[in-house]
Amino acid sequence: MTDKSSNAQSSNAMWGGRFAAGPDAIMEAINASIGFDQRMAAQDIAGSRAHAAMLAATGIVSDSDAEAMREGLLTVLSEIEAGSFEFSTALEDIHMNVEARLKEIIGEPAGRLHTARSRNDQVATDFKLWVRDQIDAAIAGIEALIAALLEQAEAGADWVMPGFTHLQTAQPVTWGHHMMAYVEMLGRDRSRFSDARARMNESPLGAAALAGTSFPIDREMTAKALGFDRPAANSLDAVSDRDFALEFLAASSICAMHLSRFAEELVIWSSAQFRFVTLSDRFSTGSSIMPQKKNPDAAELIRAKIGRIFGANVALMTVMKGLPLAYSKDMQEDKEQVFDAADNLMLALAAMEGMVRDMSANRESLEAAAGSGFSTATDLADWLVRTLNMPFRDAHHVTGSLVAMAESRGCDLPDLSLEDMQSVHGAITGDVFGVLGVQNSVASRTSYGGTAPLRVREQIARWKEVLK
């Protein structure tokens, strides 16, 4: 027969390892957030200092108490920044850790700091300030990458290369035009982050637990002190809103997807089969057994980051989807994935900027590939329409016949003779050869947004002005 002691040991073993002490240890571990929310220390202290100043300005606390709080909070911040602050899981979160240390420093006035606020509006404010800082960092990272792409585009505004659909040669484009495609993508990312920042810039501070407060606080004052445009208009929404974090993750996911697409191209382009670009040694690694290899590891890792960032977006959406108003403890799970996504986005942006600045485009390889795969077939069809007034569907058929002829002979369209072309359609003249070269092809694409070097340089100039 099993005794009670044996049952207790068996039960503790089920909790396993560090939780063998029992339910109290489990509850402390699942309840505490200080292991990750200490990253918001600077934002927490900024919010508390603004709150203390407002409490004094409205007569809720004395000027001397508010000054003691504000100075003491700076001391706490300096300890955290110096790495000498001792965080306690027993105090659960960054808010209680800071307040406890403040009491040790200034004594009784520290107890007045939490007047007219709750941890609910406090954490919403801290988190929003932190995400706002990350948005600013993301915009700066995007602009740095755009600047690097503009340098590449300007250097190769008239370098021809193949443009692809289905990863098959489609039409010639320029290197500059291809670089500028990513500038446009990143420009939309920049816009999304800017839009999200403008929309989120309302202060939750003063919403208290969920219903506001009976104290005569000045929410406009604290909002202004923290750089918000205005206080949030509804206290229930203020403490339960995490749209700002979701928008940050959504914008991050799209941006990471763009980085991943470019990373995929760099992986392909740097291969021995393409040789379109040479990546620097700073962003490549060798093989442990194959000395000839130079692996585009940075690009491959950027390509993988989308999984973590998109996963964070799905995770937080899942946390929030079933929560009634206002605050629920589920919302403690809102930060770790956002922290991780922000870290990985900033790293991916910095790595991509470094790769773009360091990489060398191989002009000869690009140009050789630009003329392959009958890349000027569309130019031929367009010439038939413009010059012979042929319906495009008929021109498409004639061009297809000429492509088949060139393919059977193992040559490209410009290598066919005029007699060969006239055997398919007798009205073709020697002028057709003026559109078949890849240089002629790209130069002719002068429509707005086209690949003609003239248009590419116009877009480069426009973006330089945007970045100013």
- Residue 202, helix vs strand vs coil: strand
Cis upstream peptide for 90 (omega within 30°): no
Which three-class secondary structure string do you get for 236-268? HHHHHCCHHHHHHHHHHHHHHHHHHHHHHHHHH
- Single out the residue of 185, 189, 193 nearest to residue 265, CA to CA: 185
Strand partners, 277: 361
Contact 33, 88 (CB under 8 A): no
- For strands 202-203 and 168-174, give the pairing: unpaired
Strand partners, 241: none
Which three-class secondary structure string do you get for 25-65? HHHHHHHCCHHHHHHHHHHHHHHHHHHHHHHHHCCCCCHHH
Could you confirm whether 95 is annotated as catalytic? no
- Single out the residue of 40, 29, 263 nearest to residue 131, CA to CA: 40
Look up residue 175 and give its two tokens: 């290197």
The alpha carbon of residue 137 and the mean position of all alpha carbons in its chain are separated, in whole angstroms, by 10
Could you confirm whether 166 is annotated as catalytic? yes
Distance (Å, rounded) from C-alpha 30 to C-alpha 92? 10
Distance (Å, rounded) from C-alpha 70 to C-alpha 55? 11
Which residue in the list 287, 328, 360, 372 is annotated as catalytic?
Answer: 287
Q: Give me the helices (H) in 118-165, please.
A: 119-155
Dihedral sign for Cα atoms in the order 222, 225, 230, 232: negative
Catalytic machinery residues:
166, 287
